[in-house]
Structure 1
Amino acid sequence: MTYVTDIPPAPSELAKEHFAASLAFETDCWDVQDALSKGADFVLLDVRSPALYARGHVPGAINLPHGKITARKMAEWPPETVFVTYCAGPHCNGAARGALRLAELGRPVKLMAGGITGWLDEGFTLASSDAP
Protein backbone atom coordinates (compact mmCIF):
# COMPACT_ATOMS: atom_id res chain seq x y z
CA MET A 1 0.00 0.00 0.00
CA THR A 2 0.97 3.62 -0.40
CA TYR A 3 -0.03 6.76 1.42
CA VAL A 4 -2.48 7.39 -1.40
CA THR A 5 -4.35 4.14 -0.91
CA ASP A 6 -3.79 3.50 2.82
CA ILE A 7 -7.26 4.94 3.22
CA PRO A 8 -9.42 3.58 0.41
CA PRO A 9 -11.29 6.00 -1.82
CA ALA A 10 -14.90 6.71 -0.97
CA PRO A 11 -17.55 4.69 -2.76
CA SER A 12 -18.36 6.19 -6.15
CA GLU A 13 -21.83 7.35 -5.09
CA LEU A 14 -20.39 9.27 -2.12
CA ALA A 15 -17.61 10.71 -4.30
CA LYS A 16 -20.21 11.84 -6.83
CA GLU A 17 -22.21 13.63 -4.13
CA HIS A 18 -19.10 15.22 -2.64
CA PHE A 19 -17.67 16.56 -5.89
CA ALA A 20 -21.04 17.75 -7.18
CA ALA A 21 -21.56 19.64 -3.92
CA SER A 22 -18.09 21.21 -4.09
CA LEU A 23 -18.86 22.64 -7.53
CA ALA A 24 -21.88 24.42 -6.04
CA PHE A 25 -19.48 26.36 -3.80
CA GLU A 26 -16.49 26.98 -6.08
CA THR A 27 -15.53 27.75 -9.62
CA ASP A 28 -12.08 28.05 -11.14
CA CYS A 29 -10.10 30.73 -12.91
CA TRP A 30 -10.49 29.16 -16.34
CA ASP A 31 -14.29 29.04 -16.08
CA VAL A 32 -14.42 32.62 -14.80
CA GLN A 33 -12.22 33.84 -17.65
CA ASP A 34 -14.33 31.98 -20.20
CA ALA A 35 -17.57 33.38 -18.75
CA LEU A 36 -16.18 36.92 -18.66
CA SER A 37 -15.19 36.66 -22.33
CA LYS A 38 -18.78 35.66 -23.22
CA GLY A 39 -20.61 38.14 -21.01
CA ALA A 40 -20.73 36.84 -17.47
CA ASP A 41 -24.01 36.29 -15.64
CA PHE A 42 -22.39 37.05 -12.28
CA VAL A 43 -20.58 39.87 -10.51
CA LEU A 44 -16.90 39.20 -9.84
CA LEU A 45 -15.73 40.67 -6.54
CA ASP A 46 -12.09 41.24 -5.68
CA VAL A 47 -12.30 41.30 -1.89
CA ARG A 48 -8.73 42.49 -1.30
CA SER A 49 -7.73 46.01 -0.28
CA PRO A 50 -8.12 48.90 -2.75
CA ALA A 51 -4.31 49.21 -2.92
CA LEU A 52 -3.85 45.58 -3.95
CA TYR A 53 -6.74 45.83 -6.40
CA ALA A 54 -5.14 48.91 -7.98
CA ARG A 55 -1.84 47.06 -8.47
CA GLY A 56 -3.51 44.23 -10.36
CA HIS A 57 -6.91 42.57 -10.55
CA VAL A 58 -8.92 40.27 -12.76
CA PRO A 59 -10.30 42.36 -15.65
CA GLY A 60 -13.98 43.04 -15.04
CA ALA A 61 -13.78 42.60 -11.27
CA ILE A 62 -15.24 45.10 -8.85
CA ASN A 63 -13.26 45.91 -5.72
CA LEU A 64 -15.28 45.34 -2.57
CA PRO A 65 -13.14 44.34 0.43
CA HIS A 66 -14.80 41.57 2.41
CA GLY A 67 -15.16 43.83 5.45
CA LYS A 68 -17.23 46.27 3.38
CA ILE A 69 -19.79 43.72 2.21
CA THR A 70 -22.96 44.98 3.92
CA ALA A 71 -26.69 44.74 3.27
CA ARG A 72 -26.70 48.41 2.31
CA LYS A 73 -23.90 47.94 -0.23
CA MET A 74 -25.43 44.78 -1.68
CA ALA A 75 -28.76 46.56 -2.22
CA GLU A 76 -27.14 47.95 -5.40
CA TRP A 77 -27.78 44.55 -7.05
CA PRO A 78 -30.98 42.53 -7.44
CA PRO A 79 -31.34 39.77 -4.82
CA GLU A 80 -30.84 36.97 -7.37
CA THR A 81 -27.46 38.33 -8.55
CA VAL A 82 -24.75 35.68 -8.34
CA PHE A 83 -21.43 36.82 -6.90
CA VAL A 84 -18.01 35.21 -7.32
CA THR A 85 -15.36 36.23 -4.80
CA TYR A 86 -11.59 35.99 -5.03
CA CYS A 87 -8.55 37.17 -3.12
CA ALA A 88 -4.79 36.75 -3.42
CA GLY A 89 -4.73 32.97 -3.69
CA PRO A 90 -4.81 29.69 -1.82
CA HIS A 91 -2.84 31.20 1.07
CA CYS A 92 -5.55 33.82 1.66
CA ASN A 93 -8.99 33.32 3.21
CA GLY A 94 -10.42 36.67 2.12
CA ALA A 95 -12.50 35.08 -0.65
CA ALA A 96 -14.05 32.68 1.87
CA ARG A 97 -14.71 35.56 4.28
CA GLY A 98 -16.39 37.53 1.49
CA ALA A 99 -18.41 34.51 0.40
CA LEU A 100 -19.52 33.93 3.99
CA ARG A 101 -20.66 37.55 4.34
CA LEU A 102 -22.64 37.28 1.10
CA ALA A 103 -24.21 33.99 2.18
CA GLU A 104 -25.15 35.53 5.54
CA LEU A 105 -26.95 38.25 3.56
CA GLY A 106 -28.85 35.60 1.60
CA ARG A 107 -26.90 36.23 -1.61
CA PRO A 108 -25.97 33.45 -4.06
CA VAL A 109 -22.19 33.13 -4.09
CA LYS A 110 -19.28 31.04 -5.28
CA LEU A 111 -15.58 31.34 -4.61
CA MET A 112 -13.02 31.48 -7.43
CA ALA A 113 -10.46 28.88 -6.37
CA GLY A 114 -6.87 30.01 -6.77
CA GLY A 115 -7.49 33.75 -6.66
CA ILE A 116 -4.88 36.00 -8.26
CA THR A 117 -2.26 33.26 -7.98
CA GLY A 118 -4.44 30.81 -9.90
CA TRP A 119 -5.35 33.46 -12.46
CA LEU A 120 -1.68 34.13 -13.22
CA ASP A 121 -0.85 30.40 -13.17
CA GLU A 122 -3.40 29.92 -15.97
CA GLY A 123 -1.49 32.52 -18.03
CA PHE A 124 -4.17 35.21 -17.79
CA THR A 125 -3.23 38.86 -17.38
CA LEU A 126 -4.27 41.36 -14.74
CA ALA A 127 -5.72 44.81 -15.21
CA SER A 128 -4.20 47.67 -13.24
CA SER A 129 -5.69 50.84 -11.85
CA ASP A 130 -2.36 52.37 -10.89
CA ALA A 131 -1.48 55.63 -12.57
CA PRO A 132 1.75 55.50 -14.60
Structure 2
Amino acid sequence: MICFTRFLENKYNCEPYVDEITSNDIQDYLTYLKDERKYAPSSRVRNLHTLRSFFSYAYNKEIVVRNVAISIEKIKVQQKERTYLSEEEVKLLVQTIDHDLIRLVVIVLYMTGLRISECLNLT
Protein backbone atom coordinates (compact mmCIF):
# COMPACT_ATOMS: atom_id res chain seq x y z
CA MET A 1 0.00 0.00 0.00
CA ILE A 2 2.90 2.37 0.65
CA CYS A 3 4.12 1.97 -2.92
CA PHE A 4 0.60 2.65 -4.20
CA THR A 5 0.34 5.77 -2.04
CA ARG A 6 3.70 7.05 -3.30
CA PHE A 7 2.61 6.35 -6.87
CA LEU A 8 -0.53 8.44 -6.36
CA GLU A 9 1.43 11.21 -4.62
CA ASN A 10 3.75 11.42 -7.64
CA LYS A 11 0.83 11.24 -10.07
CA TYR A 12 -1.24 14.00 -8.45
CA ASN A 13 1.55 15.86 -6.65
CA CYS A 14 -0.33 15.65 -3.34
CA GLU A 15 -1.49 13.11 -0.78
CA PRO A 16 -4.41 11.05 -2.09
CA TYR A 17 -7.75 10.79 -0.29
CA VAL A 18 -9.10 7.26 -0.32
CA ASP A 19 -12.53 8.37 -1.54
CA GLU A 20 -10.97 10.14 -4.55
CA ILE A 21 -9.10 7.08 -5.87
CA THR A 22 -10.56 5.71 -9.09
CA SER A 23 -10.29 2.39 -10.86
CA ASN A 24 -8.12 4.18 -13.47
CA ASP A 25 -5.63 5.02 -10.71
CA ILE A 26 -5.40 1.35 -9.79
CA GLN A 27 -5.07 0.34 -13.43
CA ASP A 28 -2.32 2.96 -13.93
CA TYR A 29 -0.54 1.63 -10.86
CA LEU A 30 -0.63 -1.94 -12.17
CA THR A 31 0.70 -0.71 -15.52
CA TYR A 32 3.45 1.17 -13.66
CA LEU A 33 4.40 -2.01 -11.81
CA LYS A 34 4.57 -3.89 -15.09
CA ASP A 35 6.35 -1.38 -17.30
CA GLU A 36 8.59 0.60 -14.98
CA ARG A 37 9.17 -1.65 -11.97
CA LYS A 38 9.26 -4.84 -14.13
CA TYR A 39 7.10 -6.81 -11.68
CA ALA A 40 6.19 -10.37 -12.62
CA PRO A 41 2.49 -11.15 -13.16
CA SER A 42 2.29 -13.01 -9.85
CA SER A 43 3.61 -9.96 -7.97
CA ARG A 44 1.10 -7.70 -9.68
CA VAL A 45 -1.69 -10.14 -8.81
CA ARG A 46 -0.60 -9.97 -5.17
CA ASN A 47 -0.67 -6.15 -5.28
CA LEU A 48 -4.13 -6.17 -6.89
CA HIS A 49 -5.38 -8.61 -4.24
CA THR A 50 -4.12 -6.27 -1.51
CA LEU A 51 -5.86 -3.28 -3.09
CA ARG A 52 -9.08 -5.25 -3.54
CA SER A 53 -9.02 -6.32 0.10
CA PHE A 54 -8.38 -2.76 1.25
CA PHE A 55 -11.18 -1.24 -0.83
CA SER A 56 -13.55 -4.03 0.16
CA TYR A 57 -12.82 -3.24 3.81
CA ALA A 58 -13.22 0.51 3.18
CA TYR A 59 -16.55 -0.10 1.43
CA ASN A 60 -17.84 -2.36 4.22
CA LYS A 61 -16.89 0.28 6.82
CA GLU A 62 -18.57 2.96 4.67
CA ILE A 63 -15.32 4.89 4.23
CA VAL A 64 -15.87 4.90 0.46
CA VAL A 65 -19.14 5.01 -1.45
CA ARG A 66 -18.08 2.41 -4.00
CA ASN A 67 -15.47 -0.37 -4.20
CA VAL A 68 -13.40 0.87 -7.16
CA ALA A 69 -11.04 -2.13 -7.14
CA ILE A 70 -13.79 -4.63 -7.94
CA SER A 71 -13.98 -3.52 -11.58
CA ILE A 72 -10.28 -4.21 -12.31
CA GLU A 73 -9.80 -7.29 -14.47
CA LYS A 74 -7.75 -10.16 -13.12
CA ILE A 75 -4.16 -10.42 -14.27
CA LYS A 76 -3.47 -13.67 -16.06
CA VAL A 77 -0.58 -15.65 -14.65
CA GLN A 78 0.88 -18.33 -16.85
CA GLN A 79 1.18 -21.59 -14.99
CA LYS A 80 4.66 -23.04 -14.95
CA GLU A 81 4.95 -26.37 -16.67
CA ARG A 82 5.95 -29.07 -14.27
CA THR A 83 8.93 -31.24 -15.01
CA TYR A 84 9.11 -34.79 -13.79
CA LEU A 85 11.96 -37.18 -13.18
CA SER A 86 12.27 -40.14 -15.50
CA GLU A 87 12.31 -43.65 -14.10
CA GLU A 88 16.08 -43.86 -14.60
CA GLU A 89 16.60 -40.55 -12.78
CA VAL A 90 14.50 -41.78 -9.84
CA LYS A 91 16.49 -45.03 -9.67
CA LEU A 92 19.75 -43.08 -9.70
CA LEU A 93 18.43 -40.76 -6.98
CA VAL A 94 17.36 -43.68 -4.78
CA GLN A 95 20.73 -45.44 -5.27
CA THR A 96 22.68 -42.36 -4.17
CA ILE A 97 20.80 -42.02 -0.85
CA ASP A 98 22.79 -43.58 2.00
CA HIS A 99 20.24 -43.32 4.80
CA ASP A 100 17.71 -46.19 4.77
CA LEU A 101 14.76 -44.19 6.16
CA ILE A 102 15.25 -41.31 3.73
CA ARG A 103 15.55 -43.76 0.85
CA LEU A 104 12.26 -45.38 1.94
CA VAL A 105 10.53 -41.98 2.13
CA VAL A 106 11.71 -41.05 -1.38
CA ILE A 107 10.44 -44.38 -2.74
CA VAL A 108 7.06 -43.89 -1.01
CA LEU A 109 6.79 -40.35 -2.41
CA TYR A 110 7.61 -41.58 -5.91
CA MET A 111 5.31 -44.61 -5.86
CA THR A 112 2.29 -42.89 -4.28
CA GLY A 113 2.53 -39.32 -5.56
CA LEU A 114 2.17 -37.97 -2.03
CA ARG A 115 3.39 -34.53 -1.10
CA ILE A 116 6.09 -34.35 1.54
CA SER A 117 3.69 -32.84 4.09
CA GLU A 118 1.19 -35.65 3.41
CA CYS A 119 3.91 -38.26 3.82
CA LEU A 120 5.07 -36.72 7.09
CA ASN A 121 1.53 -36.89 8.48
CA LEU A 122 1.22 -40.62 7.85
CA THR A 123 0.83 -42.76 10.94
Q: Name the TM-score, length of structure 2 as normaliser.
A: 0.25
Could you say which structure has the larger radius of gyration?
Answer: 2
Q: Name the TM-score, length of structure 1 as normaliser.
A: 0.24
Structure showing greater relative contact order (alpha-carbon pairs closer than 8 Å, 6 or more residues apart):
1
